[in-house]
Amino acid sequence: MADVEVVDPKKCLEESCKPKCVKPLLEYQACVKRIQDDESGHKHCTGQYFDYWQCVDKCVGPKLFAELK
Amino acid sequence: MVGGGVIQQILRRKLHSQSVATPVLSWFSSKKAHVDAGSSGVRAFALLGAGVTGLLSFSTVASADEAEHGLACPDYPWPHDGILSSYDHASIRRGHQVYQQVCASCHSMSLISYRDLVGVAYTEEEAKAMAAEIEVVDGPNDEGEMFTRPGKLSDRLPQPYANESAARFANGGAYPPDLSLITKARHNGQNYVFALLTGYRDPPAGISIREGLHYNPYFPGGAIAMPKMLNDEAVEYEDGVPATEAQMGKDVVSFLSWAAEPEMEERKLMGFKWIFLLSLALLQAAYYRRLKWSVLKSRKLVLDVVN
């Protein structure tokens, strides 16, 4: 029984929800690129990161428990 | 016209104390002194002055960092959410196993006793056996000494640390909170705890977390002392359910929800029963009131002139 590779359904669903949340993901990636050369250490992409993960969470939330016992 | 001037005066005095743009404001008011336009013009000027000052004072306020509040957790469809839904007791049993094997090394649950688990997650024999595995300090005995004995059903779940200071010392200054009421002690507790436990991710670009802390977007501030504890197959469930991170998260939160609200099932039954009965009583009372008042409500008053 332990031979079967267990896959975490949450990670799986988060991957499948990525296409739905392309827009905030691209925003985040654009932000990362923008602050790449920042030396001050004050710039960060928390806002875009939150927007992306909020979108993914909204997508995953209703579906996750159906995959669990 | 005069009224408009007075309003401008009041506004100027009030805004002077708050505003940083006082020279701008005095320019406005001095300009106004020369203009003796109609009252509508003066009023418009007063509003413009107030608006500009308001705008300028807002720009000096720093915008709140969204990491401060933490990422808002989504709502998960818990099986015990409905108006007449009970706990998934198999999930509570698995959740207790997760707590015992993963969380109990740092988190106490000092309000739960072994006897509370009987009939909820374990049989009496199982609970007795579990209790007997721990050592409890008891006493004093007839010789006045404290002694240790195996646990009984009436004993509380064991505490990992003797006191808060010991807990903080062992965890880099951070106190792992007691979990007995945690789902009631946090806003949107059940969803928050699940999101937190399963939400450990790499920090966003530009955020670095110091040594000893870990990034978790759901935690207010983003830097939590607890490392990621739920990893796939960290626990082997007795009932053979695959112990993925999400499964363990769901089970442990079910257990914690029960621990915080053991009365939930009885409460829902009672609530449903009494709301139903009281609605019937309401209908009866409404009928009775209208019955008694019908005498007055169906009165006929005749105004007759006597000559």
Residue with tokens 């030396």: A39
Q: Residue ranges of the domains in chain B? A: 63-110+174-281
CB contact at 8 A, B197 and B249: yes
Instruction: Quote the ipTM score.
Output: 0.93
Least confident of A29-33, B7-11, B160-164, B300-304: B7-11
Q: Confidence band (pLDDT; 50, 70, 90) for B127? A: very high
Give pTM, 2 decimals: 0.80
Calculate what percentage of chain B has a pLDDT beyond 70: 80
Polymer length in residues for chain B: 307
Q: What residues of chain A lie within 8 A of the CB of B248, using their CB?
A: none
Residue range B79-108: mean pLDDT, rounded: 97
Eight-class DSSP state of B101:
I
Residue range B47-67: mean pLDDT, rounded: 55
What number does CATH give the domain B63-110+174-281?
1.10.760.10
Q: Is B119 left (phi over 0), alpha (psi -120 to 50) or beta?
A: left
Which residue in chain A is spatially nearest to B92 when comparing CA positions? A69
Q: What residues of chain B lie within 8 A of the CB of A63, using their CB?
A: none
Question: Does the structure show a pLDDT above 70 at B63?
Answer: no
Eight-class DSSP state of B222:
S
Cis amide linkage into residue B176, ω under 30° from 0: no
A57 phi and psi angles, rounded to 5 deg: -60, -40
pLDDT single digits (tens) B37-49: 455 667 766 666 5
Three-state secondary-structure class, residue B111: coil
Alpha-carbon B306 to chain mean position: 74
Q: Residue ranges of the domains in chain A? A: 9-36+43-67
Q: What is the pLDDT of residue B50?
A: 58
C-alpha to C-alpha distances, A15 to A8, B11, B14, B32, nearest whole angstrom: 11, 56, 55, 63
d(CA B228, CA A8): 15
| Count of other CB atoms within 10 angstroms of residue A48 | 21
A1–B240 CB contact, under 8 Å = yes
A47–B66 CB contact, under 8 Å = yes
- Annotated binding-site residue? B226: yes
B205–A58 CB contact, under 8 Å = no
| Choice between A35 and B306, residue whose per-residue pLDDT is larger | A35
The shortest C-alpha distance from B114 to chain A (Å) reads 25
Residues 6+ apart with CB under 8 A from B192: B73, B186, B218
Task: Enter the tokens of residue A57.
Answer: 């969470």
Q: What residues of chain A lie within 8 A of the CB of B204, using their CB?
A: 28, 44-46, 48-49
Q: Confidence band (pLDDT; 50, 70, 90) for B36? A: very low
Which residue in chain B is spatially nearest to A31 when comparing CA positions? B205
B195 phi and psi angles, rounded to 5 deg: -60, -40
Q: What residues of chain A lie within 8 A of the CB of B231, using their CB?
A: none
Question: Does the structure show a pLDDT above 80 at B166?
Answer: yes
Question: Does the structure show a pLDDT above 90 at A63?
Answer: yes
d(CA A28, CA B217): 15
pLDDT single digits (tens) A32-57: 999 988 788 889 999 999 999 999 99
CB contact at 8 A, B9 and B22: no
B246–A64 CB contact, under 8 Å = yes
Q: What is the pLDDT of residue B22?
A: 43
What residues are paired with A52 via a beta bridge? none
